[in-house]
Amino acid sequence: MPIKHILDGSPAKKDFVAVLILIVNALSWYFPLYVFFEDTLGKFQIGFTILLAIFGVHYAAAIGFAIGGTALVKRFPSPNLFLSLWMVIGTLVSALMVTLETNNIAYVWLISFLLGISLGLGFPSCLAYFGYFSVGESRGLLGGIVFFVSGICMLLLGLLVSISSFIVGVLIFAAWRGIGLVLFLLIRPDQVRKEDVVNVSYKSILADKSFLLYLIPWVMFCLVNFLERPITSSLFGTDIAFLVPVAEFGIGGVTALIAGWFADSVGRKRIIIFGFIMLGIGYAVLGLFPNIILSWYLHIILDGIAWGIFSLMFYLVIWSELAGNRIKERYYLIGVLPFLISSYVQILFTPYAEMIPISAAFSLASFFLFLAVLPLLYAPETLPEREIELRRLRGYMEKAKKVGEKYQGK
């Protein structure tokens, strides 16, 4: 069974719990914190150009320190120590936000820069943990569990902060990151990398055809999603637009769990293609019926499904399997760059969103999402065909056994 190695032995169980704590804490801490920081800046009287520069500093720090972190982790006695330091930085930076409401613009710049560091420095190594402590036959389900728990924690943490004062909200984020650090120190695994892992350059990764055939659709999705988000927010209005992150965290978390199970049964590529088709249909419906509320809700649901599938596959599963026995941090680094860059592109694009006709924008989005499927048709399946066939045979045997038992009982 896919979940067998979580339950069968204490070392494997301990390793998975460590991975679960590390990634769930990172995701459920940063994403609500970023929204919190963004909302706080929205209360200040800051011009768009300055605001653009502030977020530019944030994403530049995140990307720059993510690149530096993949090299720096090798200089530490162990990745555990490096990631522990990264979590300490996140805890301290969260606490420093207590005085953010003083409206000191220089302090805002500093916090934006430090938040970028607290995300980027260890994020690739954090995700690579999953690759080192998961096996191909159950990687989808394990990743689904990680994102399901992350989605629940994001929703609960976001709700808790939303009903709290600013200072209490900041302290909640700092405490949450600190709790993750303490739990990780208590359960951390003894060894992260295997001794036979091979070093790899960025050039050789980008020259890998299989890698590019998965990277290109991921880049297209990130660009389409983030460029269309200001348009959908304008169309839906604030009363309905708030459902989009709820769908991504809630529906996406449940979808990731289900998609992970199917990905271990039928393969990764089919699940990813299904996600693109669902989201393409969602944008096509919006393009055809932009003024019908039912189409809005359908799009939000399909968007949540797509985010659950793509978060699972493009954050955790695909890059680990393409890396094989090579060092995984650089694969994960390149894998998260489209998300970070597209997030900033969205901020650049937001003022111009209302200038684009709604029907044309959604129709183009649908077209490009369907176009993104083409590279996937030529991409190799990262789950070995042997595993897929074995699962099919097990399914046939179980059905035959049930039929046999049914007739024996008569």
Alpha-carbon distances of 7 from 12, 13, 171, 260, 405, rounded to whole Å:
8, 6, 35, 18, 28
- Domain range list for the chain: 1-193, 196-404
Cα 199 to Cα 208: distance, rounded to the nearest angstrom: 15
Cα 143 to Cα 6: distance, rounded to the nearest angstrom: 12
Does residue 4 surpass a pLDDT of 60? no
Does residue 12 surpass a pLDDT of 90? no
Q: Determine the pLDDT at residue 241.
A: 73
Does residue 6 surpass a pLDDT of 50? no
Cα 294 to Cα 2: distance, rounded to the nearest angstrom: 37
| Angle subtended at Cα 377 by Cα 372 and Cα 380, rounded to the nearest 5 degrees | 115
- In sequence order, the 6+-apart residues with CB closer than 8 A to the CB of 72 are 82, 121
Q: For 13, how many CA atoms within 13 A lie in the half-sphere containing its CB?
A: 5
Extract the tokens encoding 60: 């530049």
For residue range 195-210, list pLDDT tens digits in order: 567 888 899 999 999 9
Average pLDDT, the chain: 85
Q: Are 37 and 115 in contact (CB under 8 A)?
A: yes
Does residue 194 surpass a pLDDT of 70? no
Q: Determine the pLDDT at residue 404.
A: 55
Does residue 36 surpass a pLDDT of 60? yes
Average pLDDT over residues 327-331: 91
Model confidence at 308, in pLDDT bands (50, 70, 90)? very high
For residue range 68-78, list pLDDT tens digits in order: 999 998 888 88
Comparing CA positions, the residue from 380, 390, 369 lying closest to residue 269 is 380
Q: Determine the pLDDT at residue 389.
A: 54
Domains 1-193 and 196-404 share a fold: yes
Comparing CA positions, the residue from 243, 406, 212, 223 lying closest to residue 318 is 212
Flag the least confident range among 14-23, 154-163, 303-312, 384-393. 384-393
CATH architecture of 1-193: Up-down Bundle (1.20)
Neighbours of 135 (CB within 10 A): 11
For residue range 84-105, list pLDDT tens digits in order: 999 999 999 999 999 887 768 8
For residue range 236-271, list pLDDT tens digits in order: 887 777 777 777 778 888 999 999 999 988 889 999
Average pLDDT over residues 273-297: 89
Q: Determine the pLDDT at residue 400.
A: 54
CATH 3.40.50.720 given to domain 196-404: no
